[in-house]
């Protein structure tokens, strides 16, 4: 009788994207780092808000516009409090909005680094012969699926490709594509690597 172990891997990015812009002080294109700080400006009843970035070379600042000339009465009080407190969750929300950053940047540099939190969702009573991995990405992460599987399962990337070609790894998205939220990966545990795969797929 077939038995499937289901796990969820949640990928938490550990480095913000860096927009590249023309730095007024350097006089050329430079990478800017998120400062983890918001800036608010009041003009009567109107509010402006920015997320502050710093040039990685000279520390000159760039204010990434979040909104302008918004009536304070129209703003969610919780949002306003979070902006005033430099709430880390709100910083992450805006700092990982790559689409918004691209409107103001020459290019946006994304990083593959992440922390993977693993949890078991379901396990049958028998020894599993299949593994199902559900991937969750609260914010987009620029890492290929085959690279993620290789790193987290403790296998060479070439071995991941060989297993996929043999039908032992099945996913709706290509292994050479970036990881997407909700992506599912099924792995046949009949291979010689089953013990290593199971050990590394589970929470440590």
What is the domain range of residue 186? 4-14+112-201
The total of structural domains in the chain comes to 2
- Does residue 152 contact residue 200 with C-beta atoms inside 8 Å? yes
Of 58, 91, 109, the position where a domain reaches its end is 109
pTM for this entry: 0.70
pLDDT tens for the 204 residues of the chain, in order: 578 899 999 998 888 999 999 999 999 999 999 999 999 998 888 999 999 999 999 999 999 999 999 998 899 999 999 999 999 999 999 999 988 999 999 999 988 778 899 999 977 667 888 999 999 998 878 889 999 999 999 999 999 999 999 999 999 888 999 899 999 999 999 877 889 999 999 997
Among the candidates 89, 109, 129, a domain finishes at 109
Burial state string for 98-114 with b = 16 or more CB within 10 A and e = fewer than 16 = bebbeeebeebbbebeb
Whether residues 99 and 153 fall in one domain: no
Helix H or strand E segment including 81: helix 77-84
Do 124 and 76 belong together in one domain? Answer: no
* DSSP assigned state of 138: S
CB 157 within 8 A of CB 146: yes
Which residue, 78, 109, 140, sits at the end of a domain?
109
């Amino acid at each position: 009788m077939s038995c499937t172990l289901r796990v969820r891997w949640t990928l938490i990015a550990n480095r913000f994207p860096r927009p590249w812009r023309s730095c007024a002080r350097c006089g050329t294109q430079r990478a800017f780092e998120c400062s983890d700080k918001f800036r608010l400006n009041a003009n009567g009843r109107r509010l402006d808000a920015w997320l502050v970035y710093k040039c990685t070379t000279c520390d000159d600042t760039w204010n990434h516009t979040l909104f302008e000339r918004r009536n304070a009465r129209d703003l969610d009080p919780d949002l306003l409090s979070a902006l005033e407190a430099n709430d880390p969750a709100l910083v992450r929300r805006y700092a990982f909005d790559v689409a918004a950053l691209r409107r103001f940047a020459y290019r946006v540099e994304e990083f593959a680094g992440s922390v993977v939190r693993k949890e078991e969702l379901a396990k049958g009573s028998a020894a599993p012969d299949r593994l199902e991995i559900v991937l969750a990405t609260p914010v987009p992460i620029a890492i290929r699926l085959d690279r993620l599987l290789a790193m987290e399962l403790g296998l060479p990337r070439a071995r991941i490709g060989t297993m996929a070609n043999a039908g032992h790894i099945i996913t709706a998205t290509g292994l050479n594509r970036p990881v997407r939220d909700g992506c599912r990966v099924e792995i046949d545990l009949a291979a010689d690597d089953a013990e290593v795969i199971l050990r590394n797929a589970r929470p440590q």
